Amino acid sequence: MEPAAIDKSLDEPDATDDQNIGPILDRLKRIEGQVRGVQKMIVTGADCEAILTQVMAARAALERTAAQIVMANLEKCFDAQSPAEARRKVVRTVQLLSRST
């Protein structure tokens, strides 16, 4: 059974059709590698400080990626939407970001 279709234009930032998709995916692949490295460090019993350093680095990388996605979304809002729609999307993006802090 297929999951219900979601209208992404209403609630979520969308960078999938933006020209920045390549760099965003590259960042996510590097972060994925960092997380796998943390898993390996845990399995091999690495020092707690070293593990936490890598976790914090991955977290910072995710935050930078989120900023890149937001920037792509905001550019798209202002380029392709009416002022009212752009404002609504900006407000929604700020709401999403405030949840993550």
Provide the pLDDT for residue 9.
43
**Token output for 51:** 């593990």
As a whole number, mean pLDDT of residues 47-76 equals 91
Decide if 51 contacts 38 (C-beta within 8 A). yes
Which residue is it, tokens 């209403």? 10
pTM over 0.85: no
- What domains lie within the chain, and their CATH numbers? 19-99 (1.20.58.1000)
Q: Is the pLDDT of residue 73 over 70?
A: yes
Between CA 46 and CA 61 the distance in angstroms is 21
Q: Look at 27 and 81; give whichever has higher pLDDT.
A: 27
